[in-house]
Structure 1
Amino acid sequence: MDVTDSEPLDRREVHDELERARREFHRLLDTAGADDLARHTCGTRWTNGQLLWHMLFGYIVVRALLVLGRLFGRLPRSVSRAFARLLNTAIVPFDLVNYAGPCGAVKVCSPRRMGAQFDHVITALHHRLDRESEADLARGMHYPTRWDPFFQDYMTLADVYRYPTRHFDFHRRQLTLGSPSAPV
């Protein structure tokens, strides 16, 4: 799946996606009881609570990805290509941290706090997107494609703004909230 857009980013569409995800995240948190959050998901080793935190983290990490994209977007592409290759070699420690992070995070981050963090990061992404120039949105870098199925070899900042909601929607289908056996 190639997410690199050749057309200018439709900012309104991205704002709408961010708000849809915010509403859905709060709906999921508001309707999930303790048993729901402790239930295993479909297709992952995480519980629903852990996967919800991972979905939140997908938005949090975008803020760092935007900084990296701005930096590497000003350098020769060969620099970010080498960086992405280096990161791809670190897949084992990445997978360990990617799995363990949500396991620990839900022990200290309540659903209420997750909702507040989600609101904070979505608001920050809205503000940042509104300030981006077309030139900045066209900047990009190479990414470690082994780290995430939604990372493409080369992504612009415009692509990075679309990434977290694609990640969110994918994992949303793996939740088993409201039913002991089926995703909602």
Structure 2
Amino acid sequence: MVDREAIYEELRGARATFRRLVEDARPDDLARESSGTRWTNQQLLFHMLFGYLLMRPLLVLAGMFTRMPVSASRVFAKALDEMTGPFHWVNYLGSCLGARVFPPRRMAATLDRVTMALERRLRAETGARLHSGMHYPVRWDPFFKDFMTVADLYHYPAQHFDFHKQQLTLRQVGARSGDQDLGDRER
């Protein structure tokens, strides 16, 4: 049985957290380097949003591959794994560019729309579809498993979001006088 309510909570939690992070960030917070990445906080925030933006194409892809033999997605995932190097460069540069195109408030509004659309889509998913799945390129992202169901896929952006949230070096609300970083508080 898939716990849809847990997925709804993840979507709502990410929406609220992201809005708080963006609204509380000052320009110097956004320009500061993040921890453990080559991105600034603003670029990392876009990358966190991008994990949710990828859901629509990933769900479409899952729908296509669940109609094929399982071996088709296995071959596809292995081919993508072979392109890991170029993927990481595109992923990095895409978030650099995305942060220039999407100002932080637009990022928050976009995440609101995307997560609400995912909630609507999840409501319409059948149990059979949620239990169907495909193989994924495990070298592309630490949260991709070799085989993931559509239900697993709905959890993916929250895992991605929570991981990268720990890498932000934004100052906390109410702690500005002490300049305590968000990253320090949540580690």
- For normalisation by structure 2, the TM-score amounts to 0.92
The Cα shift of 1:181 comes to 6.4
The Cα shift of 1:19 comes to 0.3
In structure 2, the partner of 1:55 is: 48
1:40 aligns with 2:33: yes
How many equivalent pairs are there? 177
Which aligned segments of 4 or more residues in structure 1 are displaced greater than 3 angstroms? Answer: 179-182
In structure 2, the partner of 1:20 is: 13
- Pick aligned residue for 2:96 from 92, 100, 103: 103
For residue 141 of structure 1, give the secondary structure of its aligned residue in structure 2.
strand
The Cα shift of 1:180 comes to 7.8
Unaligned runs of 5+ in 2: 172-178
User: Separation in 2 of the partners of 1:182 and 1:135?
Assistant: 40
Percent identity over the alignment is 53
In structure 2, the partner of 1:141 is: 134
- For normalisation by structure 1, the TM-score amounts to 0.93
In structure 2, the partner of 1:92 is: 85
Q: Which structure has more RCO (C-alpha within 8 Å, separation ≥ 6)? A: 1
- Pick aligned residue for 2:71 from 78, 94, 97: 78
Q: Which string of whole-angstrom CA distances, capped at 9 and with x for unpartnered residues, describes residues 45-91 of structure 1?
A: 00000000000000110111111111101111100000000000111
**CA RMSD, aligned part only?**
1.2
For residue 148 of structure 2, give the secondary structure of its aligned residue in structure 1.
strand
In structure 1, the partner of 2:108 is: 115
Verify the 8 A CA contact 1:143 1:152 in the aligned structure 2. Answer: yes
Letter in 1 for 2:7: V
In structure 1, the partner of 2:166 is: 173
- Pick aligned residue for 1:158 from 148, 151, 174: 151
User: Separation in 1 of the partners of 2:106 and 2:93?
Assistant: 19
